[in-house]
Amino acid sequence: MTSYRTIGLMSGTSLDGVDAALCRIELPDPDAPLTEATIETEAAITDEYEPRFRSYLETVCAETTTIDELARADIAVGRRFARAVKTLLSKANTTPETVDLIGSHGQTVWHAPELAALPGKLGTTRTTLQIGDESVIATETGIATVADFRRADIAAGGHGAPLSPLLDWIQFGDESEGRIVQNIGGIGNCTVLPGGGTREAVTAFDTGPGNMVIDAVVESVTDGDRRFDEGGQLAAAGDVDGELLASLLDDPFFERDPPKSTGRERYGNAYADEVLERARRRDLAERDLVATVTALTSDSIADAYERHVEFDPERVIVSGGGAWNETLCSRLGSRLPCPVETSRAHGIDPDFREAVLFGLLAALFRTERAGSLPSVTGANEPAVLGTLSKPP
């Protein structure tokens, strides 16, 4: 076994802040199964974005942003990620010299996984863009930084997402039990783990909106007093509008076969504004609207399993901020024939699963091992993910 101490950094589509996890990664010898790896989280923090910085990122993620704004944001986000590293090191009472690598996902500002034509008959391409300059992170922390994890998979013909199934296979797979790992961040995505499945048997896909639409609706109906529905309390007080829910579930994305991924481009502010307008036309009470969009998330997840998973899961393991929404998880559980539990019961805090992932991917980069799963992303071949920036 080879040991690495890494820091994984992640900022998701909810734009809540930087999740940072200090990890101890033990990788087996190259000829041993990767499932023998062990992953320990030594410390973790969420360095929350201030309202002004969050609003700034929302502007940068808009289609109207300029190249100049995007280039400046790349630097600003890199500095913000470096601050999170310093805060984490202080909490863990350790120094940069004890850390081998940082793995930084950055902040996704655009993800368009479907093939689109380039101008001038130059062919077609998929695209993804994460900002948060890794050179800035490496320089300000003094720690070599691996970033830009999605591009190598796209270059190999994949969607560049999701990347978390490799961690799920190592950490949550079971020899005899078929499981699904469901992340509910801004977007929902699931990893399908057949009992005793090999790396090639793992599949995964985005299920649709996670917390993104719920958060946008809650922020709107509370005039900004709340940014999310803590514990699902607002949803629990309301009644689901069945007609509106049915129309929201009549969405071509839900029917499309995997591999598939989505993001803010489809379920961001414009989508939430449309839902709010439809609710106003129906004279829907605010709590009923929150209940309905919460049901949209839970039901789209359950429907995705029925459409796209070839076995009935024996356990569903939930991570991400949605793991703390009791109303959402209760409704999801009522649709499924198995226990629904959080990833904490299996060794990873639900809030830091994706940060831990990028700590793992940094260690795999160091050993030149593939971090992608073509069975998940649709790539033609596995790829070593990431690019390296060293401190001066």
Write the pLDDT tens digit of every residue in 218-246. 999 999 899 999 999 999 999 999 999 99
Is the pLDDT at 62 greater than 90, yes or no? Answer: no
CA distance 169 to 158: 19
| pLDDT higher than 80, residue 113 | no
The model's pLDDT over 151-180, given as tens digits with 9 standing for 90+, comes to 999 999 998 988 999 999 999 999 999 999
Helix pair angle (269-281, 286-308), 10° resolution:
120
278/273 Cα distance (integer angstroms): 9
Specify the pLDDT at position 305.
97
Q: CB–CB of 161/182 below 8 Å?
A: no
Choice among 13-17, 155-159, 343-347 with the minimum mean pLDDT = 13-17
Q: Are 1 and 29 in contact (CB under 8 A)?
A: yes
Radius of gyration of the chain (CA): 20
Average pLDDT, stretch 317-343? Answer: 96
Question: Which of 119-123, 137-141, 275-279, 331-335 has the least mean pLDDT?
Answer: 119-123
Confidence category of residue 118, pLDDT binned at 50, 70, 90: confident
* 86: number of Cβ within 10 Å: 15
Select from 308, 337, 334, 333 the least CA-distant residue to 323: 333
In terms of DSSP H, where are the helices of the chain? 51-60, 67-92, 134-141, 151-155, 165-172, 212-221, 233-237, 242-249, 252-255, 264-267, 269-281, 286-308, 326-335, 353-366, 374-377
Please tell me the predicted confidence (pLDDT) of residue 284.
Answer: 96
**Statement: residue 272 has pLDDT above 80:** yes
Helix axes 242-249, 269-281, angle to 10 degrees: 150
Give the pLDDT confidence score for residue 93 in this predicted structure.
98
Q: What is the pLDDT of residue 84?
A: 98
Q: What is the band of 207 on the pLDDT scale with cuts at 50, 70, 90? A: very high
Query: Residue 227 burial by CB count (10 A; 0-12/13-18/19+): exposed, middle or buried?
Result: middle
pLDDT tens, residue by residue, 70-96: 999 999 999 999 999 999 999 999 999
| pLDDT at site 201 | 93
117-126, 170-179, 267-276: least confident range: 117-126
| Average pLDDT taken over every residue of the chain | 94
Domains of the chain by range and CATH?
A: 2-161+351-389 (3.30.420.40), 165-338 (3.30.420.40)
**Is residue 138 over pLDDT 80?**
yes
Asked if residue 301 has pLDDT above 90, the reply is: yes
On whether the CB atoms of residues 239 and 222 are closer than 8 A, the answer is no
Q: How many residues does the chain have?
A: 392
Contacts (Cβ under 8 Å, ≥6 apart) of 250: none
